[in-house]
Amino acid sequence: MDILALFDLSVLDSTVRLATPLLLACLAGLFSERAGIFDIGLEGKMLFAAFFSAAIAALVTINAENAEQVAQAVADAVANNDQATAQSAAEGCSGTCRFFAGVSGWLPAVWIGVLAGVSASLFLSLVHGLASITFRGNQLISGVAINFLAAGMTVLIAQDWFQQGGRTPSLIGGGRFEPITLPFAETLSGVPFIGPIYAELISGHSILVYVALLAVPGTWWLLFRTRFGLRLRAVGENPAAVDTAGVSVVGLRFVAVGICGVLCGIAGAYLATGLQAGFVKDMTAGRGFIALAALIFAKWRPWHALWATLLFGYLQAIALRPDIIEGALGFKVQVQLLDALPYILTVVILAGFVGKAIPPRAGGEPYVKER
Amino acid sequence: MTAPAIELKGISKAFGPVQANKDISIRVMPGTIHGIIGENGAGKSTLMSILYGFYKADAGEVFISGNKTEIPDSQAAIAAGIGMVFQHFKLVENFTVLENIILGAEDGGLLKPSLSKARKTLLELEKEYDLKVDPDAVIEEIGVGMQQRVEILKALYRQANILILDEPTGVLTPAEADQLFRILGRLKEEGKTIILITHKLREIMEITDTVSVMRRGEMTATVKTAETSPEELAELMVGRKVLLRVDKAPATPGDVVLDVKNLKVVDEQGVERLRGIDLQVRAGEILGIAGVAGNGQSELLEVLGGYATGSGTITLNGAPIDLTGKNSDGRSRRARGIAHVPEDRQREGLIMDFAAWENTAFGYHRDAAYTSGLLSNNAAIKADTADKMERFDVRPPHPHLAAKNFSGGNQQKIVLAREIERNPDLLLIGQPTRGVDIGAIEFIHQQIVALRDQGKAILLVSVELEEILGLADRVAVMFDGQIMGERLTADTNEKELGLLMAGITDTDAPHTMAEIEANLAHAHGDASKEV
């Protein structure tokens, strides 16, 4: 039996990577729900963002490559003084090809992908805001609708654009995030204990992992140390208090929902361009709902959200290593059972087995001015 | 001559076909307390909402200190120096007092400087107006009286010169109300202008300088308080002469009908809501249960009415009543002759979207008169409803109208007709006149007294001390799940009952406000844990 193997650096390393999309989505939900807008559409928004970030990043890389080849062909033809061939070769890259090739000049393809993903998620957020804030609709129904919309639209558009069975082409080169090696990682790796932890666990992730980790203190500071945070928390507890204080309830809630959209967008983009290399059907695999469970588990607090999502990330990571489990427990555990663990924990949390979690008091209720 | 602090000229506001405010003009002089009195739905709150920027008037002008002012939103109202203390406080329950005070009036993007500035200002305001609060207390853990002071401080912190208070004493004990009036007096001395909206004539007479009366969206009169009387104001409000005192002969109590011994109720969180209640109600008497809301009165009614469980013994006419099991539900209670007019008529007494005739049958829908075989006899129910509506003067007398379309008073009459007409031995009645117009109050009180005079036992729960004193023959005061004392109505007064309501049984000794406050905060704190 080797219990320590359960905390092997490679397991912890993948814990961090797998926790990242959960953490971002959890913080996204935190902003929205702290402002009184329940959001079960985290899943759909992540999926939408994952697709659009992968699709746009793919289009940019493909077209940029194509443009280069065309330019080469044209140059060759011109060198041979063959005007006709040059003309027909130039037609190989026009319209959308030119557009994407042009865009690739400003930013690396992967960042363009992230921007596209964030915009897509933000768009869905605004739909949710319009339905639940402006038109005071039912927040759960709006969220469910967004999830269905995203599940269907992503596959449909993917098939139309790429004809690869509802997935995007695999992202190569500049189309996905490469791990970042933090300074001194090489030098320190020799130092016992601390060295490997720094070099393998802390260093060597893609930039979005660090963005997610920094978002935790950022969220805490914003919520509990700024005027915006005070108002945001107040609008989720008692919007009438905010309204009578002369602050716009609708405005605050839209900002919160917007922040939720941006964070969900980054989460989705990370899934498709950091964790994996491209979009596949339903690739979020319930992560939006796991993030919601983590949010309840964390009782809507940023630091707790970090611990909760790390726990879920760990469960997902360990499920990938049945060999370690077998070594630690001394018997073989069904892989299917391991895969199901995060979802089982989700159900347990949502059923209220982790003590009383009191949601923001005005959550889920559209604000109507009373007489 | 100084300009009025507020002058409204020709304000009109309609909601669809309902004219809530009709050509209202009013002048409020600076440094005075101006009362606005009227029945529910008379348009008082609409008028004040227009003044605070919640609604836009269809017509009319607002002048603040002589200057014409547009008030499109609350921000503009605050900027014009208007502060409002709503009937239901607009406080964030899990924020501290200080956080609530700066909300919306922060200085800059960071909280720290705002909070320390507010702390300093708060100390000054506290000294100036004798408004004691603990800046670091969390709202849900302090009593209603202090919460209200926080609302007043919120307005003062925003430099309000005009303070509007909407039904401020509804949730207060008499002692707390007296303290509020002292604070208002102090604010007036400092030159603030106060508008007090209420339906309680006593308050108007006690502290206002002038009073305006509203009826059906119109301002019917503005008079100097010193030159009027409660009777005259009541007549102006209702449009006819009203009997303010309940006219009843002394009770002639008979046998014990309801006997409650050591009744205990523990809620879902394990908090003891009733801690050993003993009481008796005799035939032909009204026992009033007084107390600040949330001290166990609701639980008492729920257990007696058969929709909550408890432990202890209850007997009706000498035979025990089941507190648990299948014979402890509301249906069994009705079969035993207990009728119940619940405290919250809109949630427990009626189904608001259902028609009056359907509501009339609820609870008695298995009655032979209402059924024919397996089917319900709708024609019979409708005919019965029309008959009841006529006798109880329900307006409009349309059995097909949904319950939500009746006014509070008429809704209550529908419930009352349903329960009283069953000829019960015991009537449980909670907050019979909450949100009911003066005219209807008079009628409802007469019905309750008539039932008593038929030799029925009546258990009346009300947070309105005036109502208890007027209606009940005996009073039991509840505090923190216990009965603090029982008095004959004829031998007691508001002051004594007020102390009992604050949990102080030694009613002859002198007591300080701080002592009362501390006791109440304890009880309120317990009550707030429930949510």
Q: How far is A360 from chain B (nearest CA, A)?
A: 10
CB B65 within 8 A of CB B5: yes
The answer to whether A238 contacts B92, with C-beta atoms less than 8 Å apart, is yes
Are B92 and A225 inside 8 Å of each other by CB? Answer: no
Cβ within 8 Å, pair B74-A361 = no
Confidence of residue B526 (pLDDT cuts 50, 70, 90): very low
Given a cut of 70, whether residue B522 has pLDDT beyond it is: no
**In chain A, what residues touch B86 (CB-CB under 8 Å)?**
244
Cβ-defined contact of B103 to A369 (cutoff 8 Å):
no
Which residues are CB-neighbours of B316 under 8 A, at least 6 positions away?
B257, B258, B259, B336, B337, B338, B425, B426
Listing DSSP states for A280-308 in one string gives -TTTTTTHHHHHHHHHHHTTT-HHHHHHH
Q: What is the pTM of this model?
A: 0.81
Which chain A residue's Cα is nearest to B46?
A371
Tokens of A148: 């269905």
Residue B377 C-alpha, separation from nearest chain A C-alpha, in angstroms: 38
- Paired residues of B483 in beta bridges: B478
**Could you say which of B46, B52, B95 has the minimum Cβ distance to residue A234?**
B95
pLDDT at B1: 63
Q: Which residue has the higher pLDDT, B208 or B242?
A: B208
* For the ranges B187-191, B243-247, B393-397, B505-509, the one whose mean pLDDT is highest: B187-191
Q: How far is A224 from chain B (nearest CA, A)?
A: 8
Q: Which residues of B touch A240 (CB under 8 A)?
A: 88, 90
- pLDDT at residue number A354: 67
Q: How confident is the model at residue B423 (pLDDT cuts 50, 70, 90)?
A: confident
Q: What gap in Å lies between CA B43 and CA B37, rounded to an integer?
A: 10
Q: With cut-offs at 50, 70 and 90, classify the pLDDT of residue B366.
A: confident
Chain B partners within 8 Å of A246 (Cβ): 73-75, 77-78, 104
| Facing residue for B111 by CB, picked from A227, A242, A244 | A227
pLDDT score for B351: 93
Residues B86 and B74: their CA atoms lie apart, in Å, by: 13
> In A, what residues contact B, Cβ < 8 A?
224-231, 233-234, 237-238, 240-247, 361, 369, 371
Task: State yes or no: pLDDT of B530 exceeds 70.
Answer: no
Phi and psi at residue A367, to the nearest 5°? -90, 120
Does the B6-238 domain belong in CATH 3.30.1320.10?
no
Establish, for the pair of chains A and B, how many residue pairs have beta carbons separated by less than 8 Å.
75
Mean of the per-residue pLDDT values for chain A?
90
Between B285 and B493, residue with greater pLDDT: B285
The three-point CA angle A328-A334-A340 to 5° equals 100
Domain CATH number, residue A290: 1.10.3470
Domain that holds residue A323: 3-350
CB contact under 8 A, A245 and B108: no
Chain A residues with CB-CB distance to B78 below 8 A: 245-246
> Diameter of chain B by CA atoms?
78
> How much is the average pLDDT of B314-339?
90
pLDDT confidence bin for B525, thresholds 50/70/90: very low
CB–CB of B93 and A237 under 8 A? Answer: yes
Judged against a pLDDT cut of 60, whether residue B226 lies above it is answered with: yes
The predicted model gives B108-124 an average pLDDT of 93
Q: How far is B158 from chain A (nearest CA, A)?
A: 10
Gyration radius from chain B CA atoms:
25
Residue pair B428/B340 in contact (Cβ under 8 Å)? The answer is yes
Q: What is chain B's mean pLDDT, rounded?
A: 88
Euclidean distance between CA atoms B235 and B439, whole angstroms: 10
Cα distance from B85 to chain A (closest Cα, Å)? 10
Locate A11 and state its tokens: 């397991």
**Distance in Å, alpha carbon of A349 to nearest chain B alpha carbon:** 20
The pLDDT tens digits of the residues spanning B39-72 come to 777 888 889 889 998 888 999 999 999 999 999 8
| A125 part of a folded domain | yes
Residue A224: closest C-alpha in chain B: B111
Closest-CA residue of A relative to B44 is A371
What CATH number belongs to B256-347+424-529?
Answer: 3.40.50.300
Instruction: Give me the mean pLDDT over the B303-318 stretch.
Output: 91
In whole angstroms, how far apart are CA B246 and each of B36, B200, B394? 24, 16, 21
Residue B90 to residue A241, Cβ atoms within 8 A: yes
Select from B45, B84, B111 the Cβ nearest to the Cβ of A244. B84
Q: Which two tokens stand for residue A257?
A: 């929902």
Contact B100 A241 (CB under 8 A): yes
pLDDT confidence bin for A370, thresholds 50/70/90: low
The reply to whether residue B95 touches residue A237, judged by beta carbons under 8 angstroms, is yes
Q: Do the chains contact at A237 and B86, CB–CB below 8 Å?
A: no
Which tens digit of pLDDT belongs to each residue from A15-39?
999 999 999 999 999 999 999 999 9
Q: Cβ separation of A227 and B108 shorter than 8 Å? A: yes
> Under DSSP, is residue A249 helix (H, G, I), strand (E, B) or coil?
helix
Least confident stretch, B38-42, B226-230, B444-448, B502-506? B38-42
Give chain B positions within 8 Å (CB) of A230. 95, 99, 102-103, 106, 111
Q: How far apart are CA B453 and CA B95, in angstroms?
A: 51
Whether A137 shows a pLDDT value over 90: the answer reads: yes
Q: Is residue A265 part of a domain?
A: yes
Nearest CB partner across the interface for B90, out of A231, A240, A361:
A240
Whether B6-238 shares its CATH topology with B256-347+424-529 is answered yes
For the record, the structure tokens of A77 come out as: 């033809």
pLDDT in tens, A257-315: 999 999 999 999 999 999 999 999 999 999 999 999 999 989 999 999 999 999 999 99
Q: Are the beta carbons of B387 and B21 closer than 8 angstroms?
A: no
B110 contacts on A by Cβ (under 8 Å): 225-227
- Tell whether A212 is covered by a domain: yes
The answer to whether the CB atoms of A227 and B73 lie below 8 A apart is no
| DSSP 8-state symbol, A205 | B
For B158, the closest chain A residue by CA position comes to A245
Across B168-192, average pLDDT: 88
Most distant pair of Cα atoms in chain A: their distance: 83
As for the ipTM of the complex, it is 0.88
Residues of chain B whose beta carbon is less than 8 angstroms from a beta carbon of chain A are 45-46, 49, 52, 54, 73-75, 77-78, 84, 86, 88, 90-95, 99-100, 102-106, 108-112, 114, 154
Q: Write phi, then psi, for B32 (nearest 5 degrees).
A: -125, 165
Measured between CA atoms, how close is A230 to chain B, in angstroms? 7
Count: domains in chain A: 1
Structure tokens at B389: 């509506």
What residue segments make up the domains of chain B, in order of their start?
6-238, 256-347+424-529
pLDDT value at B97 more than 90: yes
Q: Provide mean pLDDT across the span B284-307.
A: 91
Backbone angle region of A143, left / alpha / beta, with phi > 0 → left and psi within -120 to 50 → alpha: alpha
**Minimum distance, in Å, between the CA of residue A249 and any CA atom of chain B:** 11
User: What pLDDT is attached to residue A371?
Assistant: 47
What is the tens place of the pLDDT at every residue in A221-256? 999 999 999 999 999 999 999 999 999 999 999 999
Name the band, by pLDDT with cuts 50, 70 and 90, for residue B527: very low
Q: Please check whether residue A364 lies inside any domain of the structure.
A: no
**Interface contact B95-A228, CB threshold 8 A:** no
A355 in any annotated domain: no
- Residue A55 counted as domain residue: yes
Residue A237 has its nearest CB partner, among B92, B102, B154, at B92
Q: Tell me, what's the pLDDT at A194?
A: 82
